[in-house]
Structure 1
């Protein structure tokens, strides 16, 4: 008899699980804007996704507690899985234009996914102008990080190889889980030294225990329940070329543009902030396998200048990223301290900290999507827009960045009450991205 493999939630997964037990969910997703979708209906969407699910085992698994002595939660096949429960229809809010699609998608990613079932959804959105349609895929962060989410997406669009897998598979029994958990505890004891060093390194990359206080400004303050979304686009090739001329990456260029846009926004509010503390999630892996998902991200805290010569700012940010990024690719502090963090999150202490922190002004998350265009059900994916909600604390605006098929899309997610000038910020970011391309030549 073959040994049943244990799919156990990692310490980072469990940290995100604890974060999502508060007032709001911690979820992310992507809005796939499709071309005219003649012949593509809900039944066909369910059929396509259902046929492709075996390639992503966790999409048919739910997270359950292990028996006493059996360690942390495990992912087990859901014998009652029904694709119809996860792939649903929705009609875009009127008038069905781009902003209405964005607002509808944001409401979908903000709706808490049930934890008693595999925590994901895919909504087939109709009612768009021009006969177009959209697919909004949402994942609970406990299931995967951004890199893992892209691995899921790659298996759901057309062209992915078919995979056959028995389902449902039997769950590991209690004795097997206890043996596996004991072995894990013994390995942890042997790794105490490296774990302590990793904690110091990752804490340092995240700004240390006592980082410089982020300059006080209107970007920080009590957040309300409503979020708004604005989308900024840029061509990827000229931005990449501009960054590479100064030894920088596309992400470095985006950071420079974001800081410049925030500086100009605050000037209109009669505030003068010339450098911003920006948190950047760093993945501990270059790519993810859809059959082995989970979270492997650590925070990197950077001071990004907002004024001065663009070329000089690019070079400075690139140097700061190179100096600190290696330390941020290990396990994040929330995973290393494990049970202590989960307790603080469950008690609401972590959310209290986020609501009162002065470590950062904003967060910029960037993942690379497919380099070329993809299709779903034979319909071209015209644009891919990243989405996320949760754990933003007192940050009034955050940025989600996704590159796809030669384009860079920046989702600017803002508190509706604290950032009424979101459109001005989006226009300013578009101008700053163009400025980076133009003035760094």
Structure 2
């Protein structure tokens, strides 16, 4: 009888066992994101229905109504406020989650981080390549290459939480880690490729304010004698100023959310430990802002971004003649799972890492398909890629919504089958 792969010298497992604390945190995150994912879908459906109803003009009038203060570059439409302002809350939590993963999560060690990192890269490169291949004959369409590279962590996690009650916890952690790295790549793409001009003075001022924000966040208890529940009240207005300055600089304002999230300490300092230390600042921020992000910010963004006039069944069918639609559809539904699965297989062969005995490659394909749910970040990139109101702009959104639904359905069927098998194995 040959030894199991886990016992062969030099062979490591793809998914190391998670600690109890990590598993509990992942479980709590899954429960929160389930509600957010349901609201996200509900708001998008309402927006689509309204935008294609006899009252469509009222929807677009509300979305395009401008409010704000012009001298600070803050006179924006309500739709832009949702994309640039409310979505910054979502990206703040992404930054916080990234910081946690790098400091105390699965990304703190290269040996455990290398697989989801490479998988995320594969899930970005392959969809982008497929999109560019399909749109090669249209230079204007090629500007949307980054649209299918993103994963909607809230939507994907919500689907997994609903249909994956008996799937191994390591697979859930892999999806979250993969999605977090995917978001980091998407943030980098937005910052590098969707910034046309940069105003130096507002940018420098924004970085100074962010540095001050980070200083207070790190030393709030030791030097400022603030409790975490009071510190966030001090930091919130400073964060808003940093956001406004970064917006004025020309860099997409959601990047401010990520940078601010990175400054928050996720572990207690030596002077702050002990039985009476209470929750850390990262826990307080997550407790305060995750419900706001999942329950209000992201659904409202989806409401104002997903509302496109399809033009009935005929308009929906005719949209598929556009290479933008075909490129996004194939990139998300085929490119994402192909890129993630192929990259995972390649790195496991190169690094001599074996699957956990409880897992099969069908599970990895299912997670890859879940990652094909683009939605929130893909809609944001579509806003940045094409001029508002253009045919490519509307068609891109139709493709994102359709592909996300297809990916969610196919992933639900595949992982649902796997979930029943795991449930049967646990019952026997």
Into which bin does the TM-score normalised by the smaller protein fall? under 0.3
Higher relative contact order (CA 8 A, sep 6+): 2
Q: Which has the higher strand share?
A: 1
Q: TM-score, normalised by structure 2?
A: 0.25
So what's the TM-score if we normalise by structure 1? 0.25
